[in-house]
Amino acid sequence: MRLALYQPDIPQNTGTILRTAACFGISVDVIGPTGFDMSDKALRRAGLDYLEHVDLSRHVSWDAFRATLGGSRLVLVTSHGDVAYSRFDFAGTDVLLMGRESSGVPPAVHDAAGARLRIPMMPGLRSLNLAVATGIVLAEALRQTGGLP
């Protein structure tokens, strides 16, 4: 199981996600360009001293990232998903893709996903914080695949 962040633009969310990944032993792919300098102090503040424990790969573009997928299934978490994350059968080789906080992912990235999941919410509300959404879906994926430490 891996996490992939598509062009993240809020360093605090990225730092929190990297900290979560460190705690669960999950590799993270950051697909650029990011909306901030990856050495930004806000990223370090949110990630604390956990950042040195993350298996982090940075990719200059979507195409560079896609070249690393091999046979892994790309699972996009999106408010436009057609399946609730809790009704999805995760595999240990899945790559969970999280979109950019400000704009999600473009149609070509959306279409490239093997599955598009949503987190059910109360009607009329737009979205959850990216780090919170990542934690919700990652915890369920790890529970299903026996990947929790």
Q: What is the pLDDT of residues 30-78, one digit of tens each?
A: 999 998 887 766 666 666 677 888 999 999 999 999 999 999 999 999 9
Between 127 and 149, the higher pLDDT residue = 127
Query: Which range among 4-18, 44-58, 115-129 shows the weakest confidence by mean pLDDT?
Result: 44-58
Which superfamily is assigned to 2-52+73-145 in CATH? SPOUT methyltransferase, trefoil knot domain (3.40.1280.10)
Element at 109 (helix H, strand E): helix 107-112
Over range 21-34, report the average pLDDT: 94
Over range 79-92, report the average pLDDT: 96
Distance CA 130, CA 135 (A): 9
Task: Tell me the pLDDT band of 135, cut-offs 50, 70 and 90.
Answer: very high
